[in-house]
Amino acid sequence: MDKQYSIREVSAKFNLPASTLRYYEEVGILTDIPRNSSGKRIYLEKHINRLKTICCFKNTGMSIAQLQEFFQYEQQELSHIDDILKLLTNQKNHILAQLAKMQHDYKHIQKKLAYYQAMKTAVDNHTALPNWQDYKCDN
């Protein structure tokens, strides 16, 4: 038998408020959640796996509408394979653009860090301060 999780356990596991889990259920991206005799939700491994996908996709910037679309397509994946590929390819391209921007921003931070480390060294050694133009990023 599948391990069962309470909403509190799932909430803690994914660092999501219970209201978000209920919202995911309401919008149809987290489905078929049984209830126990007192009406409390019972999450199973399939829900945990679905939440891993939801969190992964959300972390890449995928919207709720895109998640709904993806899971709708996934219900009949063979007849929607082109739609799934298009959606995931678009998301991959979105991630690549984010990564490129992050790499650019990382280089800028690295140059700022080097500049201020050189400034500290100069102050500590009573030498000439560095010139920012020697560290400045090209945009």
Q: What is the DSSP string of 77-133?
A: GGGGHHHHHHHHHHHHHHHHHHHHHHHHHHHHHHHHHHHHHHHHHHHHHT-PPPPGG
Residue 97 lies in a domain: yes
Domain that holds residue 44: 1-63
Residues 7, 53, single domain; the answer is: yes
**Are residues 43 and 102 both part of a single domain?**
no
- Examine residue 110 and state whether it is found in any structural domain, yes or no: yes
Q: Residue 138's pLDDT is what?
A: 66
Kindly state whether residues 6 and 55 are assigned to the same domain: yes
Model-level pTM greater than 0.75?
yes
pLDDT value at residue 2 = 81
In a domain, residue 88? The reply is yes
For position 115, what pLDDT does the model report?
A: 95
- What pLDDT sits at residue 139? 59
pLDDT tens-digit readout, 88-118: 999 999 999 999 999 999 999 999 999 999 9
Q: Specify the length of the chain in residues.
A: 139
Rounded to whole angstroms, the maximal C-alpha distance in the chain is: 76
**Ranges under pLDDT 50 in the chain:** none
Same domain, 80 and 105: yes
Q: How far apart are CA 118 and CA 135, in angstroms?
A: 10
Instruction: For residues 100 and 134, state if they share a domain.
Output: yes
The pLDDT value recorded for residue 88 is 97
Domain shared by 81 and 117, yes or no: yes
Does residue 137 share a domain with residue 87?
yes
DSSP-derived 3-state class of residue 4: coil
Tell me: do 87 and 139 sit in the same domain.
yes
